[in-house]
Amino acid sequence: MGKVAVGSAVLCAATACAVAALIVRHRMRNSGRWARAMAILKEFEEKCATSTSKLRQVADAMAVEMHAGLASEGGSKLKMLISYVDNLPTGDEKGLFYALDLGGTNFRVLRVQLGGREGRVAKQEFTEVSIPPHLMTGTSDALFDYIAAELAKFVAMEGEGFHLSVGRQRELGFTFSFPVRQTSISSGTLIKWTKGFSIEDAVGEDVVAELTRAMERQRLDMRVSALVNDTIGTLAGGRYHDNDVLIAVILGTGTNAAYVERAHAIPKWHGLLPKSGEMVINMEWGNFRSSHLPVTEYDQALDSDSLNPGEQIFEKMLSGMYLGEIVRRVLCRMAEEAAFFGDTVPPKLQVPFVLRTPEMSAMHRDSSPDLKVVGTKMKDILGISSTSLKIRKVVVEICNIVSTRGARLAAAGIYGILKKVGRDVVRDGEKQRTVVAMDGGLFEHYSEYSTCLQSTLRELLGEVVADTVAIEHANDGSGIGAALLAASHSQYLKPDES
């Protein structure tokens, strides 16, 4: 063989060795990256663990905080607000009542004709109105004048099937889903605005008085009989359809719970005990916190980057506003530390709240063989065009971990309320039944979440007690609930009816 041939052969062999070495190094690097990604996943899963014993600790802590919040103002992270709702609907309500539901960039106006035990909700109509953005940051008069004008328009369209008794004033239930310090069933001062509203001259003012003055300017003869928040409206709407409803929980963008408490179990209540012996308590449970909550570094980072650091810790772990964001933060760390999506971190993945919970839910429930939905969402939302099946499976697993933790914590919270009111056991000779009215898009549309919540509550209660507790979906409870509360707190009720 000539020198050239020998040289070529040596060169080819060297090249082949170099290529082989590159392949080995590439494989080793890839396997090293994969191992790092799996380590991040495993650590996250372990820190999110919600064993039955841990959930029992969370429920016990919830019950302790409930006691503390009822004992004194500021005694707990749970505000345990007295709602002044001491009469829930019974089904006997009759007449025409209105509701106004203000809780975001739209408000709804509703009218219902109640026909008592036989007629129930004989007829109802509603309209939804968008609030122009400039009114969300303007003056109190401008906002309430706009609302009152739309309300007057709606009243003017009152048609057949709606009858106001002769000599009676129209009555309204006002659902106002912003932080309010309630002073009676029909008055409360605004503590602060949320959800993009910022109207300085309304803070510290009685929102019912503001609305009443605006209605007077419109020459609309209507009285606000009940001021409530959406959770209490859900409880009222639930009770109207089922007398065993004791608790209401909203699981949507945010989360909250309300329940019926015995009036004598509220040490901070200094007024006369209501004749019913009961009082609805607005827990504001999104602000619950405990050392037993499985908080991860991702939760801590999300909290510190939020508009309200240190507040609403429970809400940030289990409500619709935040679940998708937790998933995004875990994926971002995998991209940064394990080159999970290639050598560079996808720019869109670094955008806070780009991954919303409805998209997370769609990926979680993807049952196609190649997880096509996951692939499409990763491409459309995060700009990651090619993902292997292996990567897609990891994404689904992260969704599952986050959703499961949230659902199980929500169940623990409900179990804590049941413990507080003594419905976590079945006493001999009692045929009790307890219903939890649930509302909110997260519970309604994220089926894996709601299924997990219900099975976890059953696990905590045990089979015997679980058979006495039901979770029922109360769709749009807050709207009709406010009208029903206007009816059950009507100025025309006789003393023995109130």
pLDDT (tens place) for every residue of the chain, 498 residues total: 555 454 555 445 545 545 444 544 445 566 789 999 999 999 999 999 999 999 999 999 999 999 999 999 989 999 999 999 998 998 888 899 999 999 878 899 999 999 877 767 878 888 999 999 999 999 999 999 999 999 999 999 988 888 888 888 999 999 998 888 888 999 999 988 887 788 999 999 999 999 999 999 999 999 999 999 889 999 999 998 899 999 999 999 889 999 999 999 999 998 888 888 999 999 999 999 999 999 999 999 999 998 889 999 999 999 999 999 999 999 999 999 999 998 899 999 999 999 999 999 999 999 999 999 999 999 999 999 889 999 999 999 999 999 999 999 999 999 999 999 999 998 876 778 999 999 999 999 999 999 999 999 999 999 999 999 999 998 766 678 899 999 989 887 765 554
∠ CA(105), CA(238), CA(465), 5° rounding? 125
Q: What pLDDT does 430 receive?
A: 73
Q: What pLDDT does 11 receive?
A: 46
Which member of 76, 86, 101, 108 is catalytic? 108
Which member of 76, 83, 140, 177 is catalytic? 177
Is residue 455 part of the annotated active site? The answer reads no
Q: What pLDDT does 218 receive?
A: 95
Q: What pLDDT does 177 receive?
A: 84
What per-residue string of b and e applies to 50-74 under the rule 16 or more CB within 10 Å gives b? beeebbbbbbbbbbbbbeebbeeee
∠ CA(409), CA(81), CA(99), 5° rounding? 95
Q: What pLDDT does 30 receive?
A: 67
Q: What is d(CA 319, CA 219) in angstroms, rounded to the nearest whole number? A: 41
Which member of 230, 299, 303, 439 is catalytic? 230
Q: What is the pTM of this model?
A: 0.88
Is residue 60 part of the annotated active site? The answer reads no
Is residue 177 part of the annotated active site? The answer reads yes
Q: What pLDDT does 15 receive?
A: 53
Q: What pLDDT does 17 receive?
A: 47
